[in-house]
């Protein structure tokens, strides 16, 4: 008995000791569309034993899951003594287009344990360009109506299916259905890319949707970014004037034979109930125009449908979708339905979010219900949409006969907290509406909470700013007639984004567009994908996205290949600056400068915090050059390291000569000027402390308020902490009056605002020309909150959190803080309490990493596991 008992214990401890989980390929779980010949594998190790490191791994990859699991018929196997477990390159036999591969891992650790083989995972190869046999189809004649065409094709499955995989893309947006059912929960496919250069296709496993016998494809198209209104000046048809569909379904039967169903001349089309759809303006859906059963078998009327037209293949490359798809996420019940003083019926969802409203309604045919969207109410409590500028942001539903119907749009999204409802038949109740948040399906990786509820609301607002603006591309705002991939905003927020969610795939996808839209002379456009003029670019702090985000992603996820892929783009950007610089000074061209810095309306005594734009440009010239040097070091490009290091020294001495007095005063005495000069090491070392003191004096001079705009804000608290003024950083963070991070929180914000005073203390609004209530840029403080309050830090020399620094620096009367970050190696946690000057810290470090814990009175090196520390802070 006894020995049996012991035996059971030891088996279960053994099982817990070491295991492999969370298998990913190219940053994604079981990806359906891998394009590269050598995809990269990542896994996490978990162990109950402290100080666990991987000492070796075994990988096996095969076409057949069962055979692979038994170690047979492998296309690759390797056993390697290595502690690497993130982004290991495939080195087996050539991978084939359209095929699925299964893989698994087992590891050995430094304590002599061997894990079991992991659960098998898979990746599916995309379709190679030469394997596309489908023809682009479209409506016959010119595609001039805003109405959505429906494309239809019946086909027969006459043998037993092994697998059925659909490869689909469109010019415009598509929704693909089989037998009346959506083929996936992906929205806004094929996603927004620099379409003139490359267009993504999606890959769907539809094996379980198909049945034997007749089946039907039904696909509708919307205008989307491709053909709809996008950018400024009522611009339509930016990428093309004709929507098109390309689809190829590859069926493999159990007898080994294959069959392909694809778009060609045999498809038919008719127009459906979506009368118009537009990203900015919304959708008009007339239920009376529904064609019942059109997307299912048994529909008899398609003999009355039109024959499709065909389109020549364009010059754009078809590429496999590489980022996470947009999906539905949180649902919000309506909190209340109320009448405004102006007599309008308005619904409050309690959260400024991005997506749409699902509406239930029943009434006589032809009843028109209009939903308008708004982020805020006026101080009188009225519905306010002036800040949406020309975006109609309206969804219109027209009812069919008297049955209850549920509506939601298809090819538009809105940014809103409030919805105005007009024309609703009967009494509208909270039961009739649900708001649906849609955004790119990024795994939540960060958690952050403290004893201060205002700060927790700020963190909430930062996360919702991210959700609302990470809808396939990183946008400035999601609601007005803009919604563009503004580069300055994206670079300011990227580090914070990488704490809150896994943005590796998201930014890898977008950086392809950065590269694609970079001008031949190296200039980077203001927005990516670029829908502005070709020469709208090269603004300091915006265009520098080309160096900043690749480096940030490298540090956060350890993706060396991303640096390799982007390196030429990074270099071209720096070389562009050099080509327009004179005597190493970048002092020409258009720049946005420290966008939306503090600027009082009634500026009689010169309180506006204006920073010289060329001073700013010079600091970003240095920063981009430094990042290029960093990347060159990682990639072993010694000549580049030498060349650009010499350039960097020149850039800095030109800065000192042009913008600094002998005693270290900058020509602009603003916070942003000192912050950028200190952050990017522009100043002689012996003058830095004095400059930091000037920064503090300036902050105090504004009554302990920040005055920074988009460029200074992300670094403000970092610089204060670095130069020994952590207390001032906290004072700024805890400041509740304008301008500050907590001012909007006190004003009831549920997202980050574009401007420090989007709503003024008297309840009036900033200028409607530019006043978004969902703009993530100022949310960049999140990076400092994770790093300094919680103390979770990456180490650039060992990227992806292979090494970690835990260094919480309490302040601001916070008595406890807890944060967690799911890193590529597993969960990191840092939680502390502070009582009577005693700091108690709990730290968790994942297997296969190590950490340095820096406390007020001591420093400790630790391996994986959970640890407790105490430290006196005074
Ligand atoms: C505004 C955008 C964005 C900013 C540019 C300069 O239109 O909203 O936030 O980067 O201007």
Query: What gap in Å lies between CA 194 and CA 676, rounded to an integer?
Result: 32
**Active-site choice (154, 375, 482, 822):** 482
Q: Could you tell me if the CB of 592 is within 6 A of ligand 1?
A: yes
Tell me, yes or no, whether 616 lies in a domain: no
Question: Does 4 share its domain with 32?
Answer: yes
| 601 has pLDDT over 90 | no
Q: Which CATH number is 200's domain given?
A: 2.60.120.260
β-pair partners for 586:
none
Q: Is residue 482 annotated as part of the catalytic site, yes or no?
A: yes
C-alpha 736 – ligand 1 centre gap (Å): 25
Name the nearest CA neighbour of 120 among 18, 12, 25. 25
Which residue minimizes the CA distance to atom 2 of ligand 1?
476
Which of these three, 261, 289, 320, is where a domain ends?
320
* Centroid of ligand 1 to alpha carbon of 72 (angstroms): 56
Residue nearest atom 8 of ligand 1, based on CA coordinates: 476
609 lies in some domain: no
**Domain tally for the chain?**
3
Give a yes or no: residue 493 inside a domain.
Answer: no
Domain end marker among 439, 458, 492: 439
Q: Which of 412, 439, 466 is the last residue of a domain?
A: 439
pLDDT attached to residue 5:
39
Task: Examine the domain organization and report whether 225 and 364 are in the same domain.
Answer: no
What is the whole-number distance in angstroms between the Cα of residue 387 and the centre of ligand 1? 14
* 140 falls within a domain: yes
Which ligand 1 atom is at minimum distance from the Cα of 775?
Answer: 9
Q: Are 387 and 310 found together in one domain?
A: no
- Whole-number Å distance between alpha carbons of 138 and 12: 60
Give residue 482 CA to ligand 1 midpoint distance, Å. Answer: 9
User: Comparing C-alpha atoms, which of 799, 240, 814, 831 is closest to residue 498?
Assistant: 799
Q: Are residues 107 and 241 in the same domain?
A: no
Residue of the CA atom closest to atom 4 of ligand 1: 486
Closest-CA residue, ligand 1 atom 9, reads 476
Map 411-450 to HEC letters. CCCEEEEEEEEECCCCCCCHHHEEEEEEEECCCECEEEEE
Q: Which atom of ligand 1 is nearest to the CA of 489?
A: 10
Question: Which atom of ligand 1 has the smallest separation from the CA of 539?
Answer: 6
CA of 102 to the centre of ligand 1 (A): 45
Q: Judge if the upstream peptide bond of residue 190 is cis by omega within 30 degrees of 0.
A: yes
Is a pLDDT exceeding 70 seen at residue 11?
Answer: no
Check pocket membership of 476 for ligand 1, CB cut-off 6 A: yes
**Residue 488 alpha carbon, nearest atom of ligand 1:** 10
Same structural domain for residues 158 and 120?
no
Are 135 and 274 found together in one domain? Answer: yes
Does 144 lie in the same domain as 113? no
Q: What is the pLDDT of residue 602?
A: 78
860 band by pLDDT with thresholds 50, 70 and 90? very high
How far, in Å, is the centroid of ligand 1 from the Cα of 486? 6
Mean pLDDT in the chain? 96
| 96 lies in the same domain as 229 | no
pLDDT per residue as tens digits for the range 330-366: 999 999 999 999 999 999 999 999 999 999 999 999 9
Q: If you average pLDDT over residues 666-682, what whole number do you get?
A: 98
Residue of 591, 595, 773 with the most ligand 1 atoms within 8 Å of its CB, for mutation: 595
pLDDT digits (tens, 9 = 90+) for 375-398: 999 999 999 999 999 999 999 999
- 70: CA distance to ligand 1 center in Å? 56
Q: What is the pLDDT of residues 474-512, one digit of tens each?
A: 999 999 999 999 999 999 999 999 999 999 999 999 999
pLDDT at 14 over 70: no
Mutate to test the pocket of ligand 1, among 469, 489, 491 (most ligand atoms within 8 A of CB): 489
Q: What is the CATH number of the domain that holds 106?
A: 2.60.40.10
Question: Same structural domain for residues 102 and 169?
Answer: no
**pLDDT higher than 70, residue 107:** yes
486 lines ligand 1 (CB under 6 A): yes
Work out which ligand 1 atom sits closest to the CA atom of 710: 10
pLDDT given for residue 16 in this prediction: 57
* Closest residue by CA, ligand 1 atom 3: 476
**Rounded distance from Cα 528 to ligand 1 centre (Å):** 12
pLDDT at 165: 98
- 824-841 confidence digits (pLDDT tens): 999 999 999 999 999 999
Q: Could you tell me if residue 316 is inside a domain?
A: yes
Structural domain range at position 235: 129-320
Residue 567 lies in a domain: no
Reply yes or no on whether 754 is catalytic.
yes
Whether residues 5 and 90 share a domain: the answer is: yes
How far is 872 from 834, CA to CA, in rounded Å? 9
- 551 assigned to some structural domain: no
153-204 pLDDT, tens digit each: 999 999 999 999 999 999 999 999 999 999 999 999 999 999 999 999 999 9
Measured N-to-C along each axis, helices 504-517 and 560-580 cross at an angle, to the nearest 10 degrees, of 40
Asked if pLDDT for residue 453 goes beyond 70, the answer is yes
Residue 810 lies in a domain: yes
pLDDT tens for each residue of 625-664: 999 999 999 999 999 999 999 999 999 999 999 999 998 9
Instruction: Verify that 5 and 77 share a domain, yes or no.
Output: yes
477 lines ligand 1 (CB under 6 A): yes
pLDDT for 273-295, tens place per residue?
999 999 999 999 999 999 999 99
Instruction: Tokens for 470, please give them.
Output: 């990470």
- The model carries a pTM of 0.97
Q: Which of the following is catalytic: 380, 754, 842, 870?
A: 754
- Please give the order of strands across the beta sheet that includes 74-81: 74-81, 54-62, 100-109, 121-124
Does 228 score more than 80 pLDDT?
Answer: yes
Q: What does the DSSP assignment read for 480-496?
A: SS----BHHHHHHHHHH
- Same-domain status, 357 and 233: no
Q: Is the pLDDT of residue 323 over 70?
A: yes
Tell me the three state secondary structure of residue 38: coil
3-class SS letters over 551-612 = HHHHHHHCCHHHHHHHHHHHHHHHHHHHHHCECCECCCCCCCCCCCCCCCCCCCCCCCCCCC
For the stretch 522-561, pLDDT in tens is 999 999 999 999 999 999 999 999 999 999 999 999 999 9
Label residue 9 by pLDDT band (50, 70, 90): very low
Ligand 1 in reach of 595 Cβ (< 6 A): yes
Cβ of 489 below 6 Å from ligand 1: yes
Task: Give the residue from 380, 477, 360 showing the smallest Cα distance to 425.
Answer: 360
């Amino acid at each position: 008995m006894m020995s049996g008992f012991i035996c059971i214990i030891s088996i279960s401890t053994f099982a817990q000791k070491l295991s492999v989980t969370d298998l990913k390929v190219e940053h994604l779980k079981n990806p359906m569309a891998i394009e590269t010949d050598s995809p990269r594998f990542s896994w996490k190790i978990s162990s109950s034993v402290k100080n666990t490191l991987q000492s070796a791994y075994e990988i096996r990859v095969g076409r057949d899951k069962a055979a692979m699991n038994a170690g047979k018929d492998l296309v690759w196997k390797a056993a390697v003594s290595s502690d690497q477990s993130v982004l290991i390159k495939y080195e087996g036999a050539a991978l084939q287009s359209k095929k699925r591969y299964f893989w698994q891992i087992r590891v050995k650790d430094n304590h002599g344990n061997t894990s079991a083989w992991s659960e098998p995972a898979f990746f599916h190869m995309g379709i190679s360009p030469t394997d596309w046999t489908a023809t682009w189809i479209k409506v016959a004649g010119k595609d001039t109506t805003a109405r959505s065409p429906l494309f239809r094709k019946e086909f027969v499955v006459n043998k037993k299916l092994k697998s059925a995989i659909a490869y689909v893309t469109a010019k415009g947006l598509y929704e693909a259905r089989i037998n009346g059912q959506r083929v996936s929960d992906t929205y806004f496919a094929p996603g927004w890319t620099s379409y003139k250069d490359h267009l993504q296709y999606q890959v769907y496993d539809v094996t379980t949707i198909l049945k034997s016998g007749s089946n039907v494809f039904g696909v509708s198209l919307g205008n989307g970014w491709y053909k709809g209104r996008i950018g400024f000046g009522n611009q339509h048809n930016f990428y093309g004037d004709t929507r098109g569909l390309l689809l190829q379904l590859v069926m493999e039967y159990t007898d080994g034979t294959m069959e392909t169903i694809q778009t060609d001349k045999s498809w038919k089309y008719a127009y459906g109930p979506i009368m118009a759809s537009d990203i900015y303006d919304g959708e008009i859906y007339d239920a009376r125009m529904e064609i019942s059963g059109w997307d299912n078998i048994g529909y008899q009327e398609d003999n009355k449908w039109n024959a499709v037209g065909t389109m020549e293949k364009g010059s754009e490359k078809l590429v496999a979708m590489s980022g996470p798809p947009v999906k539905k996420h949180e649902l919000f019940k309506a909190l209340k339905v109320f009448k405004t003083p102006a007599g309008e019926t308005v619904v409050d969802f309690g959260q400024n979010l991005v997506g749409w409203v699902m509406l239930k309604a029943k009434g006589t045919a032809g009843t028109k219900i209009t939903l308008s969207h708004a982020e805020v109410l006026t101080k009188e409590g009225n519905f306010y949409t002036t800040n949406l500028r020309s975006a109609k942001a309206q969804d219109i539903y027209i009812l069919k006969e008297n049955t209850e119907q549920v509506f939601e749009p298809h090819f538009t999204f809105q940014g809103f907290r409030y919805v105005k409802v007009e024309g609703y038949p009967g009494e509208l109740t909270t039961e009739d509406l649900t708001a649906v948040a849609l955004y790119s399906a990024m795994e939540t990786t960060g958690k952050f909470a403290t004893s201060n509820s205002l700060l927790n609301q700020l963190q909430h607002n930062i996360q919702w700013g991210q959700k609302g603006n990470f809808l396939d591309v990183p946008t400035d705002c999601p609601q007005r007639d803009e919604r563009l991939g503004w580069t300055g905003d994206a670079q300011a927020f990227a580090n914070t984004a990488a704490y809150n969610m896994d943005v590796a795939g998201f930014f890898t996808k977008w950086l392809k567009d950065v590269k694609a839209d970079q001008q031949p002379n190296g200039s980077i456009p203001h927005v990516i994908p670029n829908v502005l003029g070709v020469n709208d670019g090269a603004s300091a702090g915006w265009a520098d996205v080309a160096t900043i985000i690749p480096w940030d992603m490298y540090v956060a996820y350890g993706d060396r290949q991303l640096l390799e892929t982007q390196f030429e783009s990074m270099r071209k950007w720096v070389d562009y600056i050099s080509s327009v610089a004179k005597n190493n000074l970048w002092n020409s061209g258009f720049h946005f400068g420290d966008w939306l810095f503090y600027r009082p309306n009634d500026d009689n005594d010169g309180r506006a915090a204006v920073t010289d734009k060329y001073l700013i440009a010079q600091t970003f010239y240095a920063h981009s050059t430094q990042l290029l040097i960093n990347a060159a070091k990682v990639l072993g490009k010694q000549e580049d390291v030498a060349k650009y290091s010499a350039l960097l020294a020149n850039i800095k001495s030109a800065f000192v000569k042009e913008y600094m007095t002998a005693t270290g005063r900058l020509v602009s005495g603003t916070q942003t000027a000192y912050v950028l000069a200190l952050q990017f090491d522009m100043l002689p070392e012996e003058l830095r402390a004095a400059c930091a003191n000037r920064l503090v004096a300036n902050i105090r001079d504004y009554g302990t308020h920040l005055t920074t705009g988009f460029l200074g804000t992300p670094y403000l608290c970092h610089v204060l902490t670095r130069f020994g003024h952590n207390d001032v950083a906290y004072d700024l963070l805890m400041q509740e009056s304008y301008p500050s991070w907590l001012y909007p929180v006190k004003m009831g914000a549920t997202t980050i605002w574009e401007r420090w005073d989007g709503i003024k203390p008297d309840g009036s609004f900033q200028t409607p020309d530019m006043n978004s209530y969902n703009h993530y840029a100022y949310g960049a403080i999140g990076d400092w909150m994770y790093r300094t309050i919680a103390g979770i830090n990456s180490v650039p020399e060992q990227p992806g959190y292979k090494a970690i620094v835990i260094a919480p620096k309490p302040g601001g009367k916070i008595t406890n803080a807890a944060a967690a970050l799911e890193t590529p190696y597993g969960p990191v946690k840092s939680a502390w309490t502070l009582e009577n000057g005693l700091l108690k810290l709990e730290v968790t470090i994942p297997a296969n990493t190590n950490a340095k814990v820096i406390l007020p009175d001591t420093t400790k090196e630790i391996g994986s596991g959970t640890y407790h520390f105490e430290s006196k802070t005074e």
